[in-house]
Structure 1
Amino acid sequence: MPRSSGAAAALPPQSLRAIAQLGADLATARKRRRIPQRLMADRMLVSLQTLQRLEAGDPTVGIANLAAALFVLGMTQRLESLVAPASDTTGTAEELARLPRSIHAPRDDADLDF
C-alpha cells in the first residue's frame, strides 16, 4: 500500500480538480485509441490498479506513471512543455517588472572596447 503524501493532502481544490480532469483526459485518450486498461497498464509496466488510480485522478500516483502513460499514448511532448518558460506569462511579467527603468552608458570609454 502506498504511503500517504502530505503534499497531496494539502492540495487546494482547484489543483485536485485539475488532476481529476487530467485523469479523465488520459482515460479518454486511451479509449479513443481503443487500448484496453489491462493492455495500457502492461505497456506502462504498472499494475491495473495504478492505471485506474491515475485515470481516477488520484493525486498520489507518481509522475513517472504519468510520464509512462503519456509515452504509451504518444503524447510525451505534452509533458516536456508543461511548464516551459515560453508559456510562463506570470514569470515573464515578473521579470519585466524587475527591469531597470533606464540604462545609462558607462562613464569610462574603456568599458566599450570590443
Structure 2
Amino acid sequence: MAAKIASPSARRALKSLGANLKTARLKRRIALKDFAERIGVSESTLIRLEKGDEGVSIGALTMACLVLGELGRISEFLDPGSDDTGLLMEKEALPRRIDRKRGSRPAAAPARGTDADDDGGVGF
C-alpha cells in the first residue's frame, strides 16, 4: 500500500488535479463509464482519480490525458528547460572563472584584414 501524503499542500494539489481532470471530462461530455473504459480503469478508480486520491497510478492519469487530447502536458511536466529553480542552481554551479592549464596557450585569433576576415563584400 502506498504511503499517505503528509503534506497538506501536496494533498491540495492532487485534489485540484483531480477536479481539473473531472472538469475536462465533463466539458468534453464524456460519461464516467465511457471514460473509465477508454482509459482502462474501473469506474471506482476513475472516481478516486477525479477526487485526487494519491493511490491511483500515474499510468491511469497518463491514459486520461491521452483520451482528453492532453498527453503533451504529461511530457511537459517538470521539463528541464522550464525548471527555473534547476536552471538557477545550474547557473550558480558554473565556475566563476576558468584557469588555463600550465603550458597551454589560447588559440590565436586570425589577424584583421586576412582572408579569414573576408566576408565576400557582404555588409552583414
* Fold agreement, TM-score > 0.5: yes
Shift of 1:110: 7.0
State the 4+ residue runs in structure 1 displaced beyond 4 angstroms. none
Partner of 1:5: 2
Taking structure 1 as the reference length, what is the TM-score of the superposition? Answer: 0.87
Shift of 1:84: 0.5
Q: For 1:33-52, list aligned pairs within 5 A.
A: 33-52=28-47
Q: For 1:20-39, list aligned pairs within 5 A.
A: 20-39=15-34
Larger Rg: 2
Aligned residues: CA RMSD:
1.6
- Higher mean alpha-carbon deviation, 101-110 vs 68-77, is at 101-110
Partner of 2:86: 91
What percent identity do the matched residue pairs reach? 40
1:29-78 deviations in whole A, cap 9, x for unaligned? 00000000000001011100010000011011010000010011010000
Q: Judging changes above 3 Å, is the alpha-carbon distance between structure 1 residues 20 and 96 closer, same or farther for their aligned structure 2 residues? A: same
Partner of 1:107: 102
Shift of 1:104: 2.4
In structure 1, runs of 5+ residues without a counterpart are none
Give the Cα–Cα distance (whole angstroms) in 2 for the partners of residues 25 and 95 of structure 1. Answer: 33
Shift of 1:111: 8.3
Give the Cα–Cα distance (whole angstroms) in 1 for the partners of residues 18 and 5 of structure 2. Answer: 19
Taking structure 2 as the reference length, what is the TM-score of the superposition? Answer: 0.80
How many correspondences in the alignment?
A: 107
Greater relative CO (CA pairs within 8 A, separation 6+):
1
Say which structure is richer in helix: 1
Letter in 2 for 1:26: L
Q: Judging changes above 3 Å, is the alpha-carbon distance between structure 1 residues 111 and 102 closer, same or farther for their aligned structure 2 residues? A: closer
